[in-house]
Amino acid sequence: MGEKEDRAATIIQSRIRGFLTRRQVSVRTEAPGIVSTTIRPPGEGSRAVSHFMTPLSGIQQNMQRGATYHRLTVDRGAQRGNVFGTREGEAPRSPQELALSAPRHSAVINGGYFVHKGGLQTDTGETIHGLGRPVGPTHTRSDHTPVPSPWQGDYGRLTVGHNTGLSSGPLLMHGGRLPDIPDHDRFKYRLGSAGENPLNSRAGALTHASDHNERAAVSIDLDSRTLRMHTLTAGGQRHLGGTMRQWQQIVAHGSGPRRQVDGFTHVARASALNLDGGGSVFMGVRTSTGIRQISRGGNPTEAIRPVANVIASKSPR
């Protein structure tokens, strides 16, 4: 092959690599200090653009074909995070409506669990009345239902100032450490031949951890105070989402820069909290004219599910 042919082949290969990269990874600025990242796994017959043992490869290796990972990175956003939610006795409201209370140029993501349907129960077997009541303490209302006892040690809290903003779980990262998500019945939706787990009836149950699902999470880089919002969506096709263990790995790799300690690469020194998933997933940016949607869970032809609260963060830029 001559020099001209070599140059032509190099140009073609470069364009192919560029095309594959754009299909799998895209980055754009959404607002001052807010950057969105979109990552997809390689399509059938395509190879990953990520190199082995990189954060990108860690994300792609835990994704199924047909799913999309979105992230909003808010520079120093931990300093300006807040929770906006419903008040005592109120029914759930659309995340877009709740997000209108956030300042302009804020990143927004859906919040924690809530009583989203009738028939859910407390630890004592009592039926919980009042759709929309959050699970665990929040700072927008006091009529929450307690975190069910099987998962009290797995839940975490997002603080606003020195107060609890909202509660959710499980805690996916704590100071760079990844808590174990054990293979216990409390994390299983089905118990083999025994059928559905009776714990499924508890409001705020984490039995969905073993199933694939669309997911949401928020993380804070403890060194830079950067706040990141994460979603994994699949157009309402839950089976294309991730299990909680896969989601934990995705969020860990997406939560900040790696650290070298004694010659080994460690995950970012960050803390991350899983949020409500499935049809409750919503992430967007508060603009001067409304809410620009970045990602959502559930069937895209159906209305976005109303929720109890949202998390918003604005860069100090």
Whether residue 19 is contained in a domain is answered as no
Examine the pLDDT at 22 and tell me if it is beyond 50.
Answer: yes
H/E element, 100? none
Residue 277 covered by a domain: yes
Q: What percent of the chain has pLDDT over 70?
A: 89
**Pairing status of strand 171-173 against strand 270-274:** antiparallel
Q: Is the pLDDT of residue 18 over 80?
A: no
130 inside domain: yes
pLDDT of the residue at 131: 95
Torsional sign, CA 198, 151, 267, 77: positive
What is the per-residue pLDDT for 105?
97
pLDDT at 14: 40
**Residues 233, 247: Cα–Cα separation, whole Å:** 11
Q: Tell me, what's the pLDDT at 5?
A: 43
**Choice among 23-32, 75-84, 111-120, 263-272 with the minimum mean pLDDT:** 263-272
User: Does the residue 44 lie in any domain?
Assistant: yes
Let me know if residue 267 belongs to a domain.
yes
If we measure between CA atoms, which residue out of 256, 212, 249, 231 comes closest to residue 109? 231
| CB neighbour list of residue 77: distance below 8 Å, 6 or more residues apart | 33, 34, 107, 225, 226, 227, 313, 314, 315
Q: Total domain count for the chain? A: 1
> pLDDT: is 246 or 56 the higher one?
246
Q: Give the pLDDT band (50/70/90) at residue 263.
A: low
The pLDDT of 129-135, averaged and rounded, is 95
H-type alpha helices, 201-259:
244-253
Q: What is the mean pLDDT of the chain?
A: 90
Q: Does 300 reside within a domain?
A: yes
What residue numbers bound the domain in which 188 lies? 29-314
pLDDT of 273 above 90: yes
Lowest-pLDDT range, 48-52, 172-176, 291-295, 297-301? Answer: 48-52
21 lies in some domain: no
- The answer as to whether 228 is a domain residue is yes
Distance CA 171, CA 285 (A): 25
pLDDT at position 52 is 65
- Residue 15: per-residue pLDDT: 38
269: tokens are 């020194």
